[in-house]
């Protein structure tokens, strides 16, 4: 594996690590589906520009299977998954929500191996276990002060399951759609899907300044830049290795959240970061 290729999910992880703090601060009371729709709209404006600069959408296979994978992975992962993740953050706070949601690492490895036949080595499995251990160690001591809600836990696991399956669905697209087009189509699907979900759920359509601030940063940077890097990483190093490296996200989010709050960073956070760093190093072997 080319060591440079591991940098793509690392950069994505660094960008995504700011999402929990931004969502919790600026969009804590925002309707989850509406927030996701506006966030996706921000991302589409950015990924659309990338597609235009790259000469348009490059889709080598218009078969129903490829179209289905593109549309379904978008609606499932950044659609249902991120709506559930946002709601979990709103209920549980960022620290606990990321621990539950990032069990997606194991779902992604399972689905990519048993549905699509991706080779999962013992190094990748060990990396996944170390990465998740790092997440737990870094996160569980940083209580947000919220009571543990059953609904919050359920939303977190829904996010994990949806992210895991959606990530595995990207792998087979490698030879048919470029990373820019995949990111653009997936975020476009999310705009439509999330807006319909918002209407079906009867959410308030009031758009606040805080919602727009959170949607801009998590949309343009989180999905615009982050999703392109994530897709490209899956295309180059595979689903299993990519999701292990993204474990950097929840650990870094502990640093981000505590620095924003002006709190001292605990030794547990450093230990968790060290375990994730080891897991990332294993993927580069």
Q: How confident is the model at residue 1 (pLDDT cuts 50, 70, 90)?
A: low
pLDDT tens for residues 220-233? 999 999 999 999 99
pLDDT tens for residues 39-61? 999 999 999 999 999 999 999 88
pLDDT tens for residues 147-180? 567 888 899 899 999 999 999 999 999 989 999 9
Which has more confidence, 180 or 268?
180
pLDDT tens for residues 44-103? 999 999 999 999 999 988 888 999 999 999 999 999 999 998 888 888 776 677 778 888
Mean per-residue pLDDT of the chain? 86
Q: What is the mean pLDDT of residues 237-250?
A: 86
Q: pTM of the entire structure?
A: 0.85
Q: Given this model, what pLDDT does residue 260 score?
A: 58
Q: How confident is the model at residue 140 (pLDDT cuts 50, 70, 90)?
A: low
Residues in Cβ contact with 158 at an 8 Å cutoff, skipping those fewer than 6 apart: 80, 81, 84
Q: Given this model, what pLDDT does residue 28 score?
A: 83
Q: Given this model, what pLDDT does residue 284 score?
A: 59
Q: What is the mean pLDDT of residues 260-265?
A: 58
Q: How confident is the model at residue 196 (pLDDT cuts 50, 70, 90)?
A: very high
């Amino acid at each position: 594996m080319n060591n440079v290729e591991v940098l793509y999910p690392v950069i994505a992880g660094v960008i995504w690590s700011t999402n929990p703090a931004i969502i919790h601060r600026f969009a804590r009371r925002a309707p989850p589906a509406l927030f996701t729709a506006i966030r996706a709209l921000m991302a589409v404006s950015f990924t659309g520009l990338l597609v235009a600069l790259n000469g348009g959408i490059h889709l080598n296979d218009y078969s129903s299977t490829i179209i289905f994978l593109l549309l379904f992975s978008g609606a499932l992962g950044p659609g249902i998954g991120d709506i559930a993740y946002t709601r979990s953050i709103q209920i549980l706070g960022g620290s606990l929500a990321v621990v539950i949601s990032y069990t997606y690492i194991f779902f992604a490895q399972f689905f990519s191996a048993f549905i699509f036949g991706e080779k999962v080595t013992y190094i990748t499995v060990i990396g996944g276990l170390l990465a998740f251990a790092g997440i737990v160690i870094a996160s569980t001591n940083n209580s947000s002060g919220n009571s543990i809600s059953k609904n919050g836990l359920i939303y977190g696991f829904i996010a994990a399951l949806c992210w895991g399956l959606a990530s595995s669905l990207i792998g087979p697209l490698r030879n048919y759609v470029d990373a820019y087009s995949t990111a653009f189509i997936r975020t476009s699907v999310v705009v439509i899907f999330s807006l319909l979900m918002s209407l079906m759920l009867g959410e308030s359509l009031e758009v606040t300044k805080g919602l727009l601030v959170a949607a801009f940063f998590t949309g343009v940077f989180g999905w615009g830049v982050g999703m392109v890097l994530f897709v490209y990483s899956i295309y180059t190093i595979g689903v299993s290795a990519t999701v292990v490296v993204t474990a950097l996200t929840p650990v870094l989010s502990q640093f981000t959240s505590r620095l924003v709050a002006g709190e001292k960073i605990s030794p547990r956070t450093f230990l968790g970061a060290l375990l994730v760093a080891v897991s990332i190093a294993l993927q580069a072997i």
